[in-house]
Structure 1
Amino acid sequence: MSKRQEMRDKRLKQQRTQRIIIGSIVLVGALLVAFALILPNLNQNAATLPVDLKPRPQADFNRMGDPNAPITITEFSDYKCSHCAAFALETEPLLVEQYIETGKVHFIYRSMGGWISPESLLAIEASYCAADENKFWEFHDLVFMNQASTFNNSMMKGFAAQLGLDEAAFNACLSSGKYTEMSNQDAADGTAFGVEGTPTFILTYKVNGEERQRILPGNYPLSGFQQEIESALDEMGL
């Protein structure tokens, strides 16, 4: 083989190698772009998978239980608060079973608005929009079950669809900011109560006509609620 032929073969080999490298880079780039486009949809689908939503007794907007119960517990919460999610998904169902279903406690959920993140404000406004169709608590559960996801309008509308809400009414409610003022008032009232962290629970009851309150900060365990509730019932002679 002549030296010229040898050099030509070497150049051809180098060109083939370069084409293979360039092709590999293009393929990897295409796969990365495709993954970036698909991933949000995967997250969105995961966020709207069917879940076991627990019923609430005498649900009324953001309240549950007998409004004439001897004790009212008001929770100040934040949808992006991990301790709030732990309470909602673990302790609250037990509280419902032992004290709310039995007529001893009337429970109210209120939000500290966008205290942790603007996403929290969006989620509470969406929850109040769901409450227009008496689906507040189901929406509340879906939000907490998907707390790790990024909250946006698309996700909130997906939850509404999953719950069978009126799409046009829900979307109009959310886009109009119908419950922005109410959500901000929740936060203002929480601040007035001295709420410094979420969740915080305000336990209210009356003894001989005199209103009394206990402030329970943090993710109270069921045993803590039992102690406070039973103590208040004893004060009332119940």
Structure 2
Amino acid sequence: MRNILIIAGGVVAVAAIAAGVYFGTRPATTGPAPVPAAATTAAPDKAAILQVQPNDHVEGDPKAPITLIEYASFTCPHCAHFNTVELPEIKKKWIDTGKVKLIYRDFPLDETAARAAQLAQCAGNDKYYAVVDMIFRGQGNWATASDPLAELAKSFRIAGMGDKEVKACLADPAVADGVINSYRTGEQVGVNSTPTLFINGEKFTGARSLDELDAAFSKLLNK
């Protein structure tokens, strides 16, 4: 689990995207960076945040009685482990059987994770979870490369995104804002490490075994 000591890196990454300083994807300005609307809103409704949101990607039956929300960072090794080891088993037993629906939300802890999150969003809703899986499975290769994003971009050709599409995606302020907003919703519901799971609103942090998660799902179904 990446803990709150590393979250500072995520805050810097998100602030930098908001200011538009990465890779020259937004023009420099002489005045202060605009403050996103989310920063000036009233206290968040945590229960509402932990419901399905219009921009969420939902895997599984949207009417499934259990909602599993995962906040994760693409450069977090523990997130990669959960998504490549535990999640496939959860998918078989719970998601594919219509009992659980999964919502993945970005909580990038560094610049590279934030940019990877943008690319995943640009892959399209129908390919989104396949791309998330691809990113995590290849994490050991692209995240340690001298140019992580260039290495990651090679994989996106499978998703129909060439160099032109990748550059356009990274330059799209709406996509960047989506990643920022996802990060901020995580902050608002108390996320300070990755991965953090919410099962019907109940928070689970740290390493969780399949048995523990099975028990949590079963308890909810048997209420």
Q: Distance in 1 between matches of 2:150 and 2:106?
A: 21
CA distance in 2, matches of 1:79, 1:169: 20
Cα pair 2:56 2:105 within 8 Å, conserved = no
Question: Is 1:111 aligned with 2:106?
Answer: yes
Q: Which runs of 5+ in 1 are unaligned?
A: 1-59, 205-212
Q: Does 1:123 pair with 2:116?
A: yes
Q: Whose helix proportion is higher, 1 or 2?
A: 1
Measured in 2, the distance between the counterparts of 1:219 and 1:164 equals 34
Unaligned runs of 5+ in 2: 1-54
Higher relative contact order (CA 8 A, sep 6+): 2
- Tell whether the 8 Å contact from 2:62 to 2:101 is kept in structure 1 after alignment: yes
Please state how far the C-alpha of 1:221 moved relative to its aligned partner. 1.5
Whole-angstrom distance in 2 between the partners of 1:147 and 1:83? 11
What is residue 72 of structure 2 aligned with on the other side?
A: 77
| Matched-pair contact (CA < 8 Å) for 1:78–1:199 | yes
1:233 paired to 2:221: yes
- Structure 2 residue 85 is the aligned partner of structure 1 residue 93: no
Query: 1:138 Cα deviation (Å)?
Result: 2.0
* SS class of match (1:187): helix
CA contact (8 A) 1:160 1:167 kept: no
| One-letter amino acid of the counterpart of residue 195, structure 1 | V
With the length of structure 2 as denominator, give the TM-score of the two structures. Answer: 0.68
Aligned residue number for residue 143 of structure 1: 135
Superposed CA RMSD in Å reads 2.0
What's the secondary structure of 1:91's corresponding residue?
helix
**Native 8 Å contact 2:170 2:176 kept in 1:** no
Query: Structure 2 counterpart of 1:181, which letter?
Result: D
- Equivalent in 169, 175, 182 of residue 171 of structure 2: 175
AA paired with 2:104? Y
- Aligned residue pairs, count: 165
> Under a length normalisation based on structure 1, what TM-score does the superposition of the two structures give?
0.64
Distance in 1 (alpha carbons) for counterparts of 2:172 and 2:87: 31
The answer for the alignment partner of 1:217 in structure 2 is: 205
